[in-house]
Amino acid sequence: MKALSLAGRYGVVVALALLVLFGAARYDYFLGAFNVLSFLRYNSMFALVSLGMAFVIMSGGIDLSVGAVAALGSVASALASGLGWAPGLLAGLGAGLLAGLLNGALVVRLRIAPFIATLATMLAASGCALLLADNQSVSASYEGSFTGLGQGDALGLPIPAWIALGAYAAGSVVLNLTGFGRTVLATGGGEDAARLMGLRVDRAKWAVYAASGALAGLAGTILAAQFGAGQPIEGVGWELFAIAAVVVGGTLLTGGEGSVGTTLAGALLLGLIFNILNFENGRGWISLSAYWQSVIRGLFLLVVVVMQAKLAGRPVPRDA
C-alpha cells in the first residue's frame, strides 16, 4: 500500500523521465541544445505560475487570476523597461504583488470564497492590462538590459530558467523547513483545527495569495522581456495550466498535502507533451492544431487525476 501511495505522488517524475527517453529515441535533435534551451526558456513562465498556485491550493484555496495578472505584469514591466531592467522587473513584480494582496484581502478580510474573489480579480486585472496598454501590445525597450531577463543566458542556461529554479528552491525550503510551510499545510488540511492549534491561519492565507500574485507578475515580466512586448491579452488559460500542473504533481485540490518538487515535474511534463506533439507534427505522421493539443491536455489531466486517486487510495475529487 505504501508503494502504491508513493507511485501516486511521484509517478509524475517517472512519467517525465519516460517521456524524455521516448522523445530522445524518436526525434532527432530532441536533446539538442536549441530545443532544450528553448523549452526551458519558454516553460519557465508556466513553472513560476504553477509554484504560486501550488501554495494556494495547498492552503485550501484557488487562484483563477494568475493568467490575467501575468498579462498585467507584462504590460507594467514593458512600460517601465525604458528605465532599465530593475525598474521593469519591479514594475511587473509590484503589479502582481498588489493583485495578490487584493486577493488575500478579499478572501481573509471579507471572507469571500476564493473562487469568486480571484475571478473578480482576474476580470479587474485583465481590464487594467487593456487600459494601460490602450488595447494593444506595448513594446519593451531594447536600449537597456531589460530584454536580457527573457532572452539572455547565464552559465549555459537561460536566465528565466535560473529564476524559476531559484524560486522553486526557495519554495521547497519554505514548505519543508519553516513553520510557515507547516501552517499552510495545516490550514489546507483543516482551517478550524489549525486555528484551534493557535496557528496564524489568516496571515498564511494572505501570504500565499500575495506570493501567487508576485510570481504571476514575475512570469509576466519574463514574458515581456522574452518577446520584447507587454501582452495585455496573453495569459488566457494560464490558470488552467497551473492547476493542471499542480494536480498532476500530486497536490490535493482539497488542500493539506503537496510538494514543490513534483509541481515542477508536473509543469515540465505538461510542457513536454506539447513539445513532443510539435516534433510529431514535423514528422508528418499526424497534424494536430493547438485546439486538438488542448483536448489532449484535458484528457491527460483527467487520466492522471483518476490514476493518482486510485493509486493513493483516495476517492476522485468531487464537488461538495
Residue range 171-181, pLDDT digits in tens? 999 999 999 99
Average predicted confidence (pLDDT) for the chain: 88
The pLDDT tens digits of the residues spanning 247-306 come to: 888 888 888 888 999 999 999 998 998 888 888 776 656 666 667 767 776 777 677 667
Going by pLDDT thresholds of 50, 70 and 90, the confidence category of residue 157 is very high
Provide CB contacts within 8 A for 243, sequence distance 6+: 53, 57, 62
Alpha-carbon distance of 163 to 231, in angstroms, equals: 20
- pLDDT for residue 228 is more than 80: yes
In the predicted model, is pLDDT for residue 6 greater than 60?
no
Per this entry, what is the length of the chain?
Answer: 320
Residue 319 maps to a domain: no
Distance set, CA 63 to CA 35, 240, 241, 286, 297 (Å): 31, 10, 12, 36, 20
Does residue 293 lie in a domain region?
A: yes
Q: Distance between CA 316 and CA 307 in Å, rounded? A: 9
The answer to whether residue 317 sits within a structural domain is no
Q: What is the pLDDT of residues 191-225, one digit of tens each?
A: 999 999 989 999 999 999 999 999 999 999 999 99
Asked if 301 and 253 touch (Cβ cutoff 8 Å), the reply is no
| Averaged pLDDT, 93-110 | 96
Instruction: Tell whether the model's pLDDT for residue 86 goes beyond 50.
Output: yes
| Dihedral over Cα of 228, 232, 237, 241: its sign | positive
From the list 243, 232, 267, 226, the residue with the least C-alpha distance to 73 is 232
Distances (CA, A) of 270 to 18, 24, 263: 13, 17, 11
Residue 81 structural domain: 2-312
pLDDT at 311 (0 to 100): 58
* Site of grid cell 506533439: 277
Q: List the one residue out of 19, 60, 16, 3 whose CA is nearest residue 251.
A: 60
Phi and psi at 139, nearest 5°, equal: -65, 135
- Residue 320 belongs to some domain of the structure: no
* Residue 141 confidence class, pLDDT cut points 50, 70, 90: confident
DSSP 8-state symbol, 134: T
State which H helix or E strand residue 154 sits in.
Answer: strand 153-154
Residue 232 counted as domain residue: yes
The CATH number for 59's domain is: 1.10.3470
Percent of the chain past pLDDT 90, that is, above it, reads 64
The per-residue pLDDT for 313 is 55
Average pLDDT over residues 66-88: 94
Tell me how many domains the chain contains.
Answer: 1
Q: Is residue 306 part of a domain?
A: yes
Alpha carbon distances (Å) from 44 to 11, 48, 163: 22, 6, 8
User: What mean pLDDT comes out for the span 29-34?
Assistant: 90
Average confidence (pLDDT) over 41-70:
96
Distance CA 9, CA 251 (A): 8
Q: Does 318 map to a domain?
A: no
> For residues 29 and 224, is the Cβ–Cβ distance under 8 A?
no
d(CA 301, CA 315): 16
In a domain, 295, yes or no: yes
Q: What is the pLDDT of residue 4?
A: 46
Q: Which residues contact 157 (CB under 8 A, 6 or more apart)?
A: 37, 40
